[in-house]
A and B are shown apart, each in its own frame.
Chain A
Amino acid sequence: MPRINSPAELEELRKGILSKRDPNKPCITLCSGTACHASGSAEVAASIEQELKKQKLSDKVDFRMTGCHGFCERGPIVVIHPEGICYLQIKPEDVPEIISQTVKGKKVVERLLYTDPTTNKKIIHESEIPFYKNQERLVFGSNGKIDPKSIDDYLALGGYSALAKALSQMTPEQVLEEVKKSNLRGRGGGGFPAGRKWEECRNAPGEIKYVIVNADEGDPGAYMDRSLLEGNPHSVLEGLIIGAYAIGSHEGYIYVRQEYPLAVGNVDVAIKQAEEYGLLGKNIFGSGFDFTVKVHRGAGAFVSGESSALMTALEGKVGEPRPKYIHTVIKGVWDRPSNLNNVETWATVPLIINKGADWFLGIGTEGSKGTKIFSLVGKVNNTGLVEVPMGMTLREIIFNIGGGIRDGKKFKAVQTGGPSGGVIPEKYIDLPIDFDELTKAGSMMGSGGMIVMDEDTCMVDTARYFLNFLADESCGKCVPCREGIKQMLDILTDITEGRGEKGDIELLEEVAAMVKDFSLCALGATAPNPVLSTLRYFRDEYMAHIEQKRCPAYVCKELISYYIDPEKCQACMICLRQCPVGAISGGKNQIHVIDQTKCTKCNTCFEVCPPRFSAVRRLSGEPVPPPVKDRVLVRKKG
């Protein structure tokens, strides 16, 4: 591969790549992000290659395996170019039809299209599907167009032009000013102005400085960084090199959690390719600026994603947080100035350089500029990764993009900010997405996890879930976090298991207050948030658990019982056969009864009872009625 020695050569190369690409040549793109992979996209890919070979179309039709498209609910996703026809939930057996009908025959296969749930109309183009239409996919949108293992694909879209501009037309100070002006705030959760952080690092004493990409993404339910790193690693690299130039750093690290092997692999490939092109290494673009980057894998510790802990892990030590009274931008890795930013933050930088800070300032709210990628998951119809401008309301995201609550249930709350965040109930569903607005409501933006909850979600159980997670992940160094979270978890477990007592909530709040203010790092300091937030908005649920030993959402196992309504049971034997512990007795004409001493509350009978009977009921806070004496079934006619 030729080394690119100047911005002019970059444009030459780009022109060359584009000249070899016929925009009208048919191209099949298949989403190969991890979620689609789990849904079987590898088999679909094999099928496509096979079919193309079979129909002797291998050189007439391009096949590109791309990164995550975002609409994870409906994967594997295939998009046929140049038309932009979008097919969803593709199986290997659909492939021959797609190739014959659409690629060759230019005809649409109706059954594979998206159907609008309200109008019942079929939608052909990806961009018109409501899920995508309402998004503004500035950072994430390229994922669907490039093969992450091909730097040429990235170049074809204009990649590395921002780097060329920065290195050849701007001084490091000018780059820094531009990013400062744009008011880009960190996308990892802290929301700290990136430009200010860069400036502090640049001004810190010391020759050797580091720039770091934080791709640890530990929040459960968040996978935006993964998909960005898997699907478009060069966008992150480009942003990193620009940042290094502005700060005066020549060495970078990309810290990726080892649970993301595909991301690690794709980043490795991207780095190698960038090195071959001379976009990494010495004298980039002939500017005299040197920069190298190393990949460092995480090893399964959420706390190591905290910036000071991450830096300690980079030193080969255990990734425990350090006191941050002396900022890590002044004393970080090996006590040298180190600037750490999130994946999404770095990926936004090339856009700001290319289009300018003023453009960026035109998107979003007063305090939060630009767009943000969220993982919209949970009880929502359209699960996936969405990118929206700051300021869009939660309602718009959940209902217009997310398609509303699945299975016709009612919205209860949306959880943002992961284990450091909180829940936002219905009364605040019109809150705009904004760093400060979400914090005011008792939650936080966090890294972008957005978990939609419905009436079947128990808020006390949710709080306990998060504390359990944090107790597992706490490094255990400081007393407030280690002992405080343990005791809070203990109290919450007691409450969810029917042992709640008067005074529990007050004690919970007292411990929470100390943990918040006295913990060593942000994991501990934000650990009480899920508890405090659910208490703020759903105190009545806590009271029901404690005073009536009742779980209104029918989730907490020790507080619920399963009961077959003798009036409704039709003795179909389905639940009896499916019960994994044989707790149901009955027969073909005998009303079924659940033996409460054997029942493990696994919910199977509730799920399998045919909806037209709906004979299985969940009870909570009330005793189970004794079995009826006469259990011979009298079937209703008709």
Chain B
Amino acid sequence: MVNLTIDGKAITAEEGTYILQVAQANNIDIPTLCYHPALEPFGACRLCTVEITSRGRKRLVTSCNYPVEEGLEVSTNSEAVIKGRRMILELLLARCPNVPLIQELAKNYGIKKPRFKLEDDNCILCGLCARVCEERMGVSAISFSGRGLDRKIDTPFHIHSEICQGCGACAFVCPTGAIKLEDITDKEPRPILSEFNAGLSPRSAIYVPFPQAVPKVPVIDREACIHFLTGNCRICENFCQAGAINYDQEDEIIEADVDAIILASGFDLYDPSALEEYGYGKIKNVITAMQYERMISASGPTGGQLQRPSDGKTPKKLAFIQCVGSRDTHYKLYCSSVCCMHATKEAILANEHYPDLKAFIFYTDMRAVGKRFQEYVARAEQEYNVTYIRSRPSKITENPDNGNPIIWYEETTARTRTSMEVDMVVLCQAMIPSGSIKDISDMLHLSLNDYQFVNIPDRLFQPVDTEIPGIFACGFCQAPQDIPDSVVQASAAAARAAEFLSKED
């Protein structure tokens, strides 16, 4: 450990660390452009220059790569330092007058218009892109080429790269936005779609699944993480100040002796692509109800704005199609039980957000059986501009001029066949028991009914008991139900389990 002072503040630091690292760890701000904690210091922008007094001599050195020494005195903002930084920024602004980052940095030092002839570049040659590609990704698809004023970032021979892995790290670290993936490769990166946001937004390979995750720590998707795919990167490790990242973590298999099991495996959503007639996956403005929920959520990918996928416009005419995959001889025979109510809620929310929005719900039967549910539906009709049409549409097509979905249906009450052009369609897709139900039931020797729900032998008096004593099932895994009902069943299962355990004694 060595003792030094930065701007008069006495600091102890580990030998071999650089002044900049020590300053940053002590919340002392030194401007940088070419520095990155996960890359070797480059020393090219010279912006991090500080004035040091070492062994009696005053010198100007770059803090990103000058190792701390015992007794070092550092000044991060002496007159010489400020003057030099100002000139560097003035020169950079002359090179890149239209780059917002440089404009801002220069403004902080009092420069609005450089006294030199202006160019119009947007690359500051910091090298971050090439360095991350070489040092962390081990690919070296791009590098510097030429020298002096001809220096630039390029692919070999200026042709699109075959070896570029499309990770986008270069564009990510670029401080000015000068480098774009399409300049480097023909490959189009496939974004990792966020499961929680129903594929509406991308996520990174290391991510917190959703804000309410328990535990709320990031997790690494091994199938998308560059380190697991190629052995390189590990940049996240450099940034984690707690040192919490451990790439060697393996799944732990824990064996426990238990006396009771509660099965609460929940539901999955049925993929409506199977219903080709509705065009999900082909017609851009046909989305699922889960996607709609994420869209309208204030903490979702669009910040609560309804932006239809094709052009981001707010729909004025919104349609909901019920029983997509439910109550259908081709797919699922049962009723998913919650969709009529959530569609109504969604239609009300839409009109609350956008008062001139009209919603149409195409229903088979309105299952509004809970307490005050029917009144809710009536209010939707009367106060929130929601129109209920009794119909199960036969197909949806697309208006090629504007991307509007066109719904073809028979209005059963009027006995007419007609079509309606809307701005966006929400498919209320069927809900199915979670995919793991088959494995779990095999493992536990439980039987499933025809609809793949867990069998409950005595629905009437033992509504949460399975065939096997000591194993209880609650929630959707045994039957379609909404949140209140699921909560009730969960309490019931817990009570039953407790009862069972006390009997064991």
Contact = CB atoms under 8 A, between A and B. Distances in A.
A477 B126 CA distance: 8
A311 B124 CA distance: 26
Interface stretch (A11-19, A63-71, A201-209, A480-488): A480-488
Given A323-B65, A325-B65, A514-B88, A476 B46 contact: no
Contacts of B47: 479
Interface in A466-524: 471-480, 482-484, 486-487, 490, 507, 510-511, 513-514, 517-520
Contacts of B44: 477-479, 520
Q: Which of B60, B61, B88 has the most CB of A within 10 A?
A: B88
B80 interface: yes
Contact of A517 (B41, B84, B91, B146): B84
Interface in A107-157: none
Contact of B150 (A318, A476, A480): A476
Interface residues of A, number: 31
A326 interface: yes
A478 B147 contact: no
B88 A487 contact: no
B404 interface: no
A428 B66 CA distance: 39
Contacts of B151: 475-477, 482
B49 interface: yes
A301 interface: yes
Contacts of A486: 149
Q: Which of A303, A326, A486 has the most CB of B within 10 A?
A: A486
B321 interface: no
Contact of A479 (B61, B88, B144): B88
B60 A483 contact: no
Given A476-B125, A514-B87, A323 B148 contact: no
Contacts of B46: 478-480, 518-520
Interface in B131-166: 144, 146-151
A476 to B, nearest CB: 4
B95 A483 contact: yes
Contacts of A472: 148
A479 B45 contact: yes
Contact of B149 (A326, A471, A507): A471
B148 A518 contact: no
A479 B91 contact: yes
A520 B45 CA distance: 9
A510 B87 contact: yes
Given A326-B67, A477-B44, A517 B60 contact: yes
A306 to B, nearest CB: 13
B61 A483 contact: no
B87 A323 contact: no
Contacts of B61: 325
Nearest to A321: B43
B461 interface: no
Interface in A189-245: none
Q: Which of A323, A486, A510, A514 has the most CB of B within 10 A?
A: A514
Contacts of B116: 487, 490
B55 interface: no
Given A323-B62, A483-B94, A518 B88 contact: yes
Interface in A429-473: 471-473
B503 interface: no
Contacts of A514: 83-84, 87-88
A511 B86 CA distance: 11
B117 interface: yes
Given A471-B148, A520-B43, A479 B92 contact: yes
Nearest to A301: B147
Contacts of A513: 83, 87
A476 B148 contact: yes
A475 B148 contact: yes
Contact of B91 (A303, A326, A487, A519): A487
Interface in B49-97: 49, 60-62, 65-67, 80, 83-84, 87-88, 91-92, 94-95
B115 interface: yes
Contacts of A303: 147
B148 A490 contact: no
A200 to B, nearest CB: 15
A514 B83 CA distance: 8
A263 B46 CA distance: 38
Contacts of B67: 325-326
Contacts of A510: 87
Contact of A325 (B66, B92, B144): B66
A318 B147 CA distance: 10
A518 B49 contact: yes
A480 B117 CA distance: 16
A457 B26 CA distance: 56
Interface in B219-245: none
B117 A490 contact: yes
A483 B148 contact: no
Given A483-B92, A487-B116, A476 B146 contact: yes
A490 B114 CA distance: 14
A410 B88 CA distance: 42
A316 B99 CA distance: 35
B105 to A, nearest CB: 12
B92 A478 contact: no
Nearest to A303: B147
Nearest to B88: A479
Contacts of B62: 323, 520
Contacts of A520: 43-44, 46, 62
Interface in B104-139: 115-117, 124-125, 127
Nearest to A470: B148
B45 A476 contact: no
Contacts of B148: 471-476, 482
Contacts of A480: 46, 88, 91
B43 A483 contact: no
Interface string B20-62: 0000000000000000000001011111010000000000111
A442 to B, nearest CB: 20
A303 B43 CA distance: 17
Contact of B87 (A475, A478, A511): A511
Interface in A286-328: 301, 303, 318, 323, 325-326
B91 A483 contact: yes
A478 B91 contact: no
Nearest to B61: A325
A13 B405 CA distance: 101
Nearest to B124: A479
A489 to B, nearest CB: 10
A598 B64 CA distance: 56
A486 B125 CA distance: 15
A540 B462 CA distance: 107
A78 to B, nearest CB: 44
B43 A476 contact: no
Q: Which of A472, A482, A513 has the most CB of B within 10 A?
A: A482
A515 to B, nearest CB: 9
A466 to B, nearest CB: 15
Contacts of B94: 483, 487
B275 to A, nearest CB: 59
Contact of B60 (A301, A471, A476, A518): A518
Contact of A323 (B43, B84, B115, B125): B43
Closest 7 CB pairs of A and B: A476-B151, A483-B91, A514-B87, A474-B148, A476-B148, A518-B46, A514-B84
27 contacts: A303-B147, A323-B41, A323-B62, A323-B65, A325-B66, A471-B148, A474-B148, A475-B147, A475-B151, A477-B44, A478-B44, A478-B45, A479-B44, A479-B88, A479-B91, A479-B124, A480-B46, A480-B88, A483-B92, A483-B95, A486-B149, A510-B87, A513-B83, A513-B87, A517-B60, A518-B46, A518-B87
Given A479-B88, A490-B116, A518-B88, 12 more contacts: A323-B41, A323-B66, A325-B61, A326-B67, A474-B147, A479-B46, A479-B47, A479-B91, A479-B92, A483-B91, A514-B87, A520-B46
